Amino acid sequence: MGDVGTSPLNGKVRVMKRACRILLVTMGAILFGLSTALPAQGAEENLVEIEAELTDQGFLEVTTTIFLAEPLGEQELTFDIPKRIDRGSMRYTYLIDFPGDLDDGSPGSAMINDAEETADNWRLVLNDPTATEVTFLYTVEGTTIANIDGSVFFTWPLIQGMNIDVARVSARVNIPPGFENSDCRAGIPGALQNCSTRGSGTHQTGYGVLEITNSPTKAGEIVQTELTYPEGTVAVTEQATTMWTLGRAMTPGFKQLGLTAILLVVGGLVLYLLARVVHGRSHRGKPALVARFAKNSAGHTVFTTEPSARVGMIGTLVDSSVDPIDVLASILDLAIRGHLRITELETSRYSPPDWSFTRLEGADSLKDYEVQLLNALCAHGNPEQDKVSEMSATIGPAIDSVQASLYQEMLDSRWFSRLPWQKSRLVPVSWIMLALALVAAGVLLAFTTFGLVGLALVALACMFWAISQLAQPITSTGARVLAGLKPLGDQLKMYPPDEIDPTDLCDQVSLVLPYSLVLGGSERWLDIMVNADESQEPDSDVLSWFHAPSDWHLKYFPASLESFITTVIGRLYTRI
């Protein structure tokens, strides 16, 4: 067999050492034969004798002799020499050299027939059917490793990958003096125990000797020796590379954890602020009040509204959607502002209630969606035909246009930046950020120990993606209006009615009703209106915007209005 790696020993020195070992092995065999039959002549058990030397330059030379109790016959003998060993996240590679096999020419002696190279080992193979003894020599570079504290650690499996049971393994290792610790472990890989015996001494030359025996050694078991030297005693020859492992990639070191924490805190704060913006909760300046209770010149409280902010727009702003309740509130608002009169019709006790619509000329201007809504409600221009019971035929075809016009009004007023069903511009950005975060995490996991930082980036990107999916179309202007609706809603639920001029109470409560339907508190204001009526006279036309049969009283107004709301919303729900 030829060289597998660069020989770490000087050629002449190696030849001399090899000759010495041949002589020692031969003399040992002769002396051993004086007391017992030669192993090759018929040993009763399989034996292994090893002579090894570790130099102060960190190179190892090993001569292994295997004595077989009987010839191999058709069986093959295998022996593994590792090319590399993985320890934790480090991979240590060994440079192996085979200077040549030994064969003293004695009966039964043989050479290794083949060497099979795998990713992890050299597998030496003997398939001589008559052989009872085999000796082979190899040298190793890379067995001395630098520890973190500067000390030098040596380890090598003297026996590995044998496919036969061995009664006794005897090893003598010449080592540089000054070692601090020595050990020998044997058994199944991953469950090693102490060798049978281990001893150490010193040559007259000053070199140390480590003597090891292990009895027995089963097929597949290993015998491994270990030494530790102080820094500078033995040269370091390790050929180490860092391997990828999940544990290494996710190293929880101070730098990794600190950077991850900073990233999550800063990124989380930015995403929180972004979430407030995209959910329509962030605005500059004071909240915008689109309606309020205020004192008039006479000192009485009146309910005032901003002409630019109609109740239908407010209802759409609250949930970013045009709902039937928003259309209904707009119908009531149009009536209360003088553009429409609602009349409750007399019906038989077995007929459902019904109402008619009469278009009027109001004093204020109308939004486009309000004009379209009035045109749909009063399509015939005749109260006899413009009824709630008949409104499906007219409101149905027009409601889509009313909705679209109301959404356009939200855009024109800069309350919305886009239509609610359109995706936010942040959505494609979030996909790009998520893709970049995944790439960054992959790079950090594959090539660094900052995998935790990569996972934090992915987590933040996922949160950004979720925020973008839930982004509302509300602008900062709309957010100011939305912020102002909370105090308005609180006033509608708690404002004291005794500050309102009693003679103007019905009109003021009427102005409040559409807003209380959208923001809450309508039942309270209806009760206030009913309780203010102390007259026993019929109230069929006491409200300018809602007329009723001649015997109708204001106390029936809550029931009438509730019935009107239920009927109208029912018809609108079939279209919106």
pLDDT in tens, 375-399: 999 999 998 889 999 888 888 889 9
Phi-psi region of 305 (alpha: psi -120 to 50; beta: other; left: phi over 0): beta
Instruction: Report pLDDT for 19.
Output: 46
Q: Which of 110-119, 121-130, 154-163 has the highest mean pLDDT?
A: 154-163
Lowest mean pLDDT among 117-126, 148-157, 520-529: 117-126
pLDDT at 553 over 80: yes
Phi-psi region of 521 (alpha: psi -120 to 50; beta: other; left: phi over 0): left
pLDDT at 104 over 60: no
Phi, psi (rounded to 5 degrees) for 442: -60, -45
Name the band, by pLDDT with cuts 50, 70 and 90, for residue 114: confident
Q: Check: pTM over 0.85? Answer yes or no.
A: no
What is the enclosing helix (H) or strand (E) of 193?
Answer: strand 191-194
What is the separation of C-alpha 263 from the centre of its chain, rounded to a whole number of angstroms? 14
Closest-CA residue to 60 (of 290, 237, 294): 237
Share of the chain above pLDDT 90, in %: 60
CA distance 428 to 109: 76
Lowest mean pLDDT among 203-217, 457-471, 475-489: 203-217
What is the average pLDDT across 77-101?
85
Q: Which long-range contacts (CB under 8 A, 24 or more apart) does 82-87 make?
A: 82/120, 82/121, 82/157, 82/160, 83/117, 83/118, 83/119, 83/120, 83/121, 83/122, 84/119, 84/120, 86/243
CA distance 425 to 441: 25
Instruction: Report pLDDT for 368.
Output: 96
Instruction: Report pLDDT for 206.
Output: 67
Closest-CA residue to 99 (of 22, 38, 202, 174): 22
CA distance 347 to 336: 24
Q: Which amino acid is at 279?
A: H
Instruction: Report pLDDT for 574.
Output: 67
Closest-CA residue to 392 (of 575, 175, 147): 575
pLDDT at 244 over 60: yes
Name the band, by pLDDT with cuts 50, 70 and 90, for residue 112: low
What is the average pLDDT across 52-79?
91
pLDDT at 41 over 60: no
Residue matched to tokens 């109402």:
355
What are the pLDDT digits (tens) for 250-309? 999 999 999 999 999 999 999 999 988 887 665 666 889 999 999 888 888 999 999 999
pLDDT at 490 over 90: yes
CA distance 381 to 377: 9
What is the average pLDDT across 207-224?
93
Phi, psi (rounded to 5 degrees) for 212: -135, 140
Name the band, by pLDDT with cuts 50, 70 and 90, for residue 21: very low
Instruction: Report pLDDT for 245.
Output: 84
Name the band, by pLDDT with cuts 50, 70 and 90, for residue 229: very high
pLDDT at 471 over 50: yes
Instruction: Report pLDDT for 18.
Output: 47
- Cβ neighbours of residue 110 closer than 8 Å, sequence gap 6 or more: 103, 126, 128, 130, 131, 133, 134
* CB 362, CB 336: distance < 8 Å: no
How does DSSP assign 73-139, residue by residue? Answer: TT--EEEEEESEEEETTEEEE-EEEEEEEE----TTEE---EEEE-SSEEEEEE--TT-SEEEEEEE
Strand partners, 144: 154
* CB 302, CB 504: distance < 8 Å: yes
Triad 347, 353, 359: Cα angle to 5°: 95
Count CA atoms closer than 13 A to 84's CA, side-chain side: 14
pLDDT at 31 over 80: no
Name the band, by pLDDT with cuts 50, 70 and 90, for residue 575: low
State which fold the 11-243 domain adopts. Immunoglobulin-like (2.60.40)
Strand partners, 191: 188
Domain ranges of the chain: 11-243, 259-270+426-469, 296-422+473-573
Helix pair angle (451-469, 426-447), 10° resolution: 170
Triad 361, 363, 366: Cα angle to 5°: 80
Instruction: Report pLDDT for 396.
Output: 83
Instruction: Report pLDDT for 36.
Output: 36
Q: What tokens appear for 417 in the block?
A: 């930046």
Mean pLDDT across the chain = 86
pLDDT at 26 over 50: no
CA distance 397 to 409: 20
